[in-house]
Structure 1
């Protein structure tokens, strides 16, 4: 059944367009990122052979043809759990799969030579490579126990947040911790040789205490992962800055994704970013993972880093959570008017040039309660037509089954035809869209409509999202928001169904429709 919701935008809704303005020349977009890994990428653990770098190399031409311009790749350094480690259990910064330790030479993803070949292959294809990096912590194994007088006194005094007993081995009334990290001799260009000890980690002195981890605020002194690096320590800061410079200058990464930035003081993040070699005369691309439902904390983090002279992006977690609800809930359960002020850009005022939007990632992909389980294309239609840098998740593009990390019997797989939708949406983004965006509906329960400016060649498009469970819906409204070109009298075509056209009235009114649990995208014919 086709239902018509016809009304005048300004008379019956009484709304004014909600949008952000940027005084920049309109230009084509070529900004789609892909997270090119997931939590449990395949590895031949018996042969201790990581194959992921080689696998990505083989995909380079295909990804560039699909419109992907940058890859977010996993942590390249050797982890504490060797061939099994995803990299987040980071152990040796300078072992990229070329030193024998932790039971293996290669990392889960392959050898250093394969990594460098992958980067070179991506560069040849015109794709930038952004590496994941961990600056918050380091892990150690049982061979890394050392006497720790600071933790001994800390535990006995009952000071601050408790030090995890599972990370302590008591001997003769002394606490031993896995904080003595030592490595094979590094022999490569720019590779230092040093060890880590207890004084490099929180609590690092009699005046240092751990803090809890219970809310969305910054927690630079929380022991949430492994050994929490004391990033207030000058030696620690310098070592981490040197590692970043080496990854950028020697290995050839184009930018970085910073893991768990809630565990780092913004002043240090600014220093780390500013210490990196320039990329084409500019600061490299940086995006931070500040996982928070309250976007105020994310914006505050970006602003604080900017005060230190560094420009960073942040992942739009509030938008991800809203899009997950939109996709997973029925049309009666989710009100589409929420999209008018969803996410970091419209909900919390973070500039569009500081936002990376996404639908799922390696963390949400391993926790079943955070999965999108249906109507994936609706979420991607939003992020691939809207502002911010959109990030496509590899398992969604290639229909890779995701499993819950705690209960592997729980699994989810995106439909195989989603890749066709993503390719089409990326192509539309590159061909038609740019500039700013105006939201044209703010109170409709089932329909969300927004108009995006063009790119200097094409004059943009209108996106219509419909979450009704059974019905194609239409809406009549004014399609000429302030600051946009006047489309009055123009014929618009639906890029998803070129046989479908409409004519905009001389008063700027047009009737736009979209299928149930789907979307349409309209541009000048």
Structure 2
């Protein structure tokens, strides 16, 4: 989550805040999993985790109400490439109206149909255009992930607040007529002084208040149920989950089901693993992100031996190379994508990397490799400063693979032990023309190009 140039009261606040990681992401024993499976069956959607997620926006996408239609025009090709879900930016009306990226929420039920906060449409378009986009995505088998911002609100009117000892902008009377809020619904209030964290001085929702819980997930027309049942969203990306206890998104998700992932911005894998277990959902794998940054920006692939969430809890790890908040892996970025698209976890693609900055053919090839070959557990075969080799051991109808990442300036070759005896293999990236036959003892020599990678599996 990031907020730029938002007007709060009479004071202009400028933020550049970075808060925003296949095997299946869903735990089959949870109620939310069964709910999602029913949705998948009824809508003929691809199971989430069978492909990759597309982050369908970047910071400061063009204003003017065109973005929903831009994405609508891309979902068919994304689906054909192997994407199974799209993550949209916060879709409801925010304080900055037509200029807001949505991370300063005002009216959770205004998707571009009410004239308030200076505009009718949101930055991204109208409610009808959003509904059309979601329908087009569903018709192409894609789940649609909503970005849920429930830590803080913005745009309220000034009211006298004895709990804060001053007047505060905590009186919310949205035109939708739903989820009106006052000083009793934010921190501090008559019962609770604070929770896990405030953001940027904005009014901080008090999730322990029954009224807030009712409107967020308990009522028949709660935010959660309106998003799912009326707007037809299929899952949830929870913003800035450090700002509230993990039971909050857990209860939200239990009320409606669906895939869910939290933005717990922390490279400490112990903390990430604690959070996913408490919240009972996935998290973005910042542990993996920072290790890849060290490996590829620091030109030392030994960093890939470090701890990551996918190594602890692969079914709860959403891996990524960049997003709308952070894009530090500039050098050798395609090598980072080769890493997450061949390893465990549920990989997410960043819109600008796919559409604007990197070789789309190479990314499509890696998506195909992920969806068709990358099954089973992971075994490290070799790691040093310039070379990294690992194998996926196969499973779930997939043969597995061996990925060879070469960060040096020359071709590299190594003997590796495969899971295949006396079988011909090939490089599915096309970088190498070799088609060797593994020895009876399953050993074989493979190669990788300079500043490149190869991915080997049965021919």
TM bracket, shorter-chain basis: 0.7 to 0.9
1:34 to 18, 41, 54: 54
Aligned pairs for 1:343-492 (under 5 A) are: 343-346=308-311, 349=312, 351-365=313-327, 371-399=328-356, 414-415=357-358, 418-441=359-382, 443-454=383-394, 457-468=397-408, 470-480=409-419, 487-492=420-425
Residue of structure 1 in register with 2:231 after alignment: 251
Any idea what the Cα deviations from partners look like across 1:222-246, whole Å, max 9, x if unmatched? Answer: 3445111011111111111110111
SS in 1 for 2:385: coil
Q: State the 1:68 CA deviation.
A: 1.0
Q: State the 1:63 CA deviation.
A: 1.0
Aligned pairs for 1:238-387 (under 5 A) are: 238-241=214-217, 242-276=222-256, 283-306=257-280, 312-330=281-299, 334=300, 336-346=301-311, 349=312, 351-365=313-327, 371-387=328-344
Any idea what the Cα deviations from partners look like across 1:174-214, whole Å, max 9, x if unmatched? Answer: x2111111122x3xxxxx53521111111113x6434xxxx
SS in 2 for 1:337: helix
Any idea what the Cα deviations from partners look like across 1:445-497, whole Å, max 9, x if unmatched? Answer: 322111113355542211011112x12122223224xxxxxx12222211122
Residue of structure 1 in register with 2:86 after alignment: 71
Residue of structure 2 in register with 1:500 after alignment: 434
CA contact (8 A) 1:29 1:430 kept: no
SS in 2 for 1:501: coil
Q: State the 1:29 CA deviation.
A: 6.7
For residues 144 and 395 of structure 2, the distance between their equivalents in structure 1, rounded to whole angstroms, comes to 25
For residues 28 and 477 of structure 1, the distance between their equivalents in structure 2, rounded to whole angstroms, comes to 33
For residues 242 and 341 of structure 2, the distance between their equivalents in structure 1, rounded to whole angstroms, comes to 27
Q: State the 1:88 CA deviation.
A: 0.1
1:222 matches 2:198: yes
1:513 matches 2:450: no
1:91 matches 2:48: no
CA contact (8 A) 1:28 1:430 kept: no
For residues 393 and 55 of structure 1, the distance between their equivalents in structure 2, rounded to whole angstroms, comes to 15
CA contact (8 A) 1:140 1:226 kept: no
CA contact (8 A) 1:463 1:522 kept: yes
Q: Structure 1 regions of 5+ residues with no counterpart? A: 1-19, 45-49, 153-174, 187-191, 211-218, 277-282, 307-311, 366-370, 400-413, 481-486
Q: 1:223 to 1:362 in 2, by over 3 A?
A: closer
Q: 1:129 to 1:451 in 2, by over 3 A?
A: same
Q: 1:60 to 1:209 in 2, by over 3 A?
A: same
For residues 456 and 401 of structure 2, the distance between their equivalents in structure 1, rounded to whole angstroms, comes to 5
Q: 1:426 to 1:378 in 2, by over 3 A?
A: same
Count of matched residue pairs: 413
TM-score by length of 1: 0.75
Q: 1:225 to 1:51 in 2, by over 3 A?
A: farther
Higher relative contact order (CA 8 A, sep 6+): 1
Q: State the 1:422 CA deviation.
A: 0.5
Q: 1:458 to 1:66 in 2, by over 3 A?
A: same
Question: Highest CA radius of gyration, 1 or 2?
Answer: 1
Q: State the 1:337 CA deviation.
A: 3.0
Q: 1:21 to 1:259 in 2, by over 3 A?
A: closer
Q: 1:353 to 1:225 in 2, by over 3 A?
A: farther
Q: 1:90 to 1:456 in 2, by over 3 A?
A: closer
Q: 1:259 to 1:503 in 2, by over 3 A?
A: same
Any idea what the Cα deviations from partners look like across 1:37-94, whole Å, max 9, x if unmatched? Answer: 01110012xxxxx111111111121111111111000111100011001000111111
Question: Aligned Cα RMSD in Å?
Answer: 2.3
For residues 392 and 253 of structure 2, the distance between their equivalents in structure 1, rounded to whole angstroms, comes to 32
Q: 1:301 to 1:97 in 2, by over 3 A?
A: same
1:202 matches 2:187: yes
Q: 1:224 to 1:21 in 2, by over 3 A?
A: closer
CA contact (8 A) 2:429 2:454 kept: yes
